[in-house]
Amino acid sequence: MSLKVLGLSGALTHDPSAAIYIDGKLIAAAEEERFTRDKHAKNKMPVEAARFCLQYAGLKPNDIDVVAFPYAKVSLLSGARWHFAKRYWYAPERSLEAIFNGNRRYRRNVKRVRGLLEEIGIDWNGIEFDAVEHHLAHASSAYHLSGIKEKTAILGIDGKGEYATTFFGYGEKGEIHKIKEFYDPDSLGQLYASVTEYLGFEMLDGEYKVMGMAPYGDPSRYDLSRLIECDGRNIKVNTELVNTVGLRRYKEGRKGYYFSQKLIDWLGPRREGDIADDPYIHYAASIQKLFEDTSLRLIDVYLGDILKETGKLVFSGGGALNVKLNQKILELPYVEELFVQPAASDAGTAVGAASYASWRRSVPPETMKHVYLGPEYTTEECIEACSKHEDKPVFERIDDVPGRAAEILAAGNPLAWCQGRMEFGPRALGGRSILGCPSHSGIADKINEQIKFRERWRPFCPSILDTIAQDMIQTDHAAPFMTITFNVSEEWKQRVPEVIHEDGTSRVQIVSEETNPRYYALLKEMEKLTGNGVVLNTSMNRRGEPVVCSPTDALNMFFGSDLQFLLLEDLLVTKQTA
């Protein structure tokens, strides 16, 4: 009898998603925001994502055996609730709630899951409900999907789950073992997010903007070490400045922030606008260095012995999307292999909860080799979308899509590329991408200013052929998911300058023919035309919007920008000329 597991995320009111495993095989996974067109889908449950997963898997609601959710009860005997209460003594209503009603959010989450299941037709009494501890879901999404068979160190850094914020452990023979956890408010992820808010960006969305700003600053200009104490084994965040709740919060009108007025008094007014200027670029550089240094110090203490034994590390949680930290981790002398869960944020906990539920029912989940797990559309469906679209796109069917795409790119034009199944997770990996020729001067600025409408100092990343990877980034380490930055060789810095960041690094996606044959063929054509098997690759969305999902989404984005070329499956779409 086969095992069918539906994983759902959304436990922490952002980035809800759904995933389905059948007998250990990940059939489908998608974020709710892609269907509702509401970025991060805050305070929503993954209703449409779950419907898609069921439909794609060919399952009826009553076929599901297990529903897994990444949020569990926390015992009053656990140190987590008492730590939270003690550290938030200055907000007594928070402290008392942790002690006397510490599983309120768990009960609320169960109620929300039951409501979702009723909406999509799954009988609560006909399934097993598996409440997986949040950081175990993160850990499973990295360890069980990594394909690593040896004993493996496991790292998790995020804002927080139930109460835990940082996880150190190891996996062996499928079993996940905890070594150490830190609890709210002592959170590296929340610390970084608090400074993200201070630097003028939205929490849960702007952390990568801070990371992109950091190389323009000097981390030695400002010492931010008073934000956190670290004695090597423990951390204590300074809640008088950051990770702040209650009356300590700095407010602008009715909006409260996760930092205090004291931070403003110390560092100056909160940054506004799109300019990366002094002193804020230096603050960004300093918080990035503080985050890296603290993380590396704790990794050495809690995982160093395991890493010296095996050299294998897997990483998940929102902190795992900090690609600069990942580069520093990989550069540690005792780390030989680093697997970063590509959907590392809370969206990935749908996969994590489902994979963990599958494993503990003696059905081990398969290795994750790609993230093309969302919807796909036929060329005929794309023709229908074009025919119905109000902007009356001009379209023609193309026989050689990779060849025509390479010609457009080599001529210096940006190109929207909507092909195959949509990616799961935050990175566009050749399914829903905007592409450019990285040897063509000015293409990055053109895409930033005319298409993406985003801050001009933010970097773009390359997709590259597997055959040139070692020459370009001087390592044979795997990099299929754009989750690690690498130092680029001097020759390739000159060859593809539009995808090299200020610090000489690049967040590379190495493309294999096996996982995305059409995208690989495009890179081969680019190599023929330009000498470089590389394209600039950024997600197909405008600022503040989710990545596109359907052909109609792609057309709406196309006509809402200065893009002139869209490849929609086998269709080349252009705009009416006057």
pLDDT value of position 218: 97
The residues of the chain scoring below 70 in pLDDT are: 456-457, 578
The Cβ of residue 189 has, within 10 Å, a number of other Cβ atoms equal to 23
Q: Does residue 428 sit in the same domain as residue 564?
A: yes
Q: Does residue 103 sit in the same domain as residue 222?
A: no
Domain assignment of residue 314, yes or no: yes
Q: Does residue 431 sit in the same domain as residue 461?
A: yes
pLDDT value of position 332: 98
| Helix, coil or strand: residue 315 | strand
Domain assignment of residue 409, yes or no: yes
4-8 and 66-69 strand pairing: parallel
Domain assignment of residue 366, yes or no: no
Domain assignment of residue 411, yes or no: yes
Domain end among 359, 388, 410: 359
Domain assignment of residue 489, yes or no: yes
pLDDT value of position 543: 87
Q: Does residue 23 sit in the same domain as residue 73?
A: yes
Q: Does residue 464 sit in the same domain as residue 487?
A: yes
Q: Does residue 273 sit in the same domain as residue 352?
A: no
CATH number at residue 293: 3.30.420.40
CATH number at residue 533: 3.90.870.20
Domain assignment of residue 165, yes or no: no
Measured in degrees and rounded to the nearest 5, phi and psi for residue 113 equal -65, -45
The total of structural domains in the chain comes to 3
pLDDT value of position 232: 85
pLDDT tens by residue, 374-403: 999 999 999 999 999 999 999 999 999 999
pLDDT tens by residue, 170-183: 999 999 999 999 99
The Cβ of residue 116 has, within 10 Å, a number of other Cβ atoms equal to 21
- Half-sphere exposure of 265 toward its Cβ, with a 13 Å CA cutoff? 7
Q: Does residue 318 sit in the same domain as residue 351?
A: no
Q: Which two tokens stand for residue 156?
A: 């998790």
pLDDT value of position 455: 73
pLDDT value of position 456: 67
Domain end among 359, 391, 422: 359
Domain assignment of residue 176, yes or no: no
Q: Does residue 400 sit in the same domain as residue 355?
A: no
State the Cα–Cα distance between residues 133 and 30, nearest whole angstrom.
Answer: 21
pLDDT value of position 578: 59
pLDDT value of position 68: 98
Q: DSSP assignment of 158-192, as one string?
A: -S-SSSEEEEEEEEETTEEEEEEEEETT--HHHHH
Q: Does residue 333 sit in the same domain as residue 353?
A: no
Domain that holds residue 474: 379-574
Q: Does residue 393 sit in the same domain as residue 525?
A: yes
Domain assignment of residue 214, yes or no: yes
Q: Does residue 323 sit in the same domain as residue 431?
A: no
pLDDT value of position 451: 82
Q: Do 296 and 332 meet the contact criterion of CB atoms below 8 Å apart?
A: yes
Domain end among 301, 329, 359: 359
pLDDT value of position 204: 85
Q: Does residue 383 sit in the same domain as residue 317?
A: no
